[in-house]
Amino acid sequence: SNASLSAWQGIAREPTPAEAAMMADTLDALMAGMDEQGKEILSWRLQGCSIPDISLEVERSERTVSRVLERVRSHLERLADK
């Protein structure tokens, strides 16, 4: 459903308990197949860090960080289509 995707597009209020549970489930599904570097990159991004800042934190190129985040986006879109 598109509900999963819309839940990740940034909300300006606190999530309802149902939204929080859905977001936690979606995050678990996203991270299930990720390596530690991917999880770290996603974690930094979810905290609002920019790609250049993440690149410095994880000591990887901005291109690598962008590729990891693109894979996350693709996976999230596949989850949303279910």
| DSSP character at residue 13 | S
End-to-end CA distance of the chain: 6
Torsion angle, CA of 34/7/69/42, rounded to 10 degrees? -60
* Half-sphere exposure for 24 (CA within 13 Å, toward CB): 7
Per-residue pLDDT at 11 = 53
Per-residue pLDDT at 7 = 53
Per-residue pLDDT at 63 = 98
Whole-model pTM: value is: 0.69
Per-residue pLDDT at 13 = 72
Q: Could you say which residues of the chain have pLDDT below 70?
A: 1-12, 82
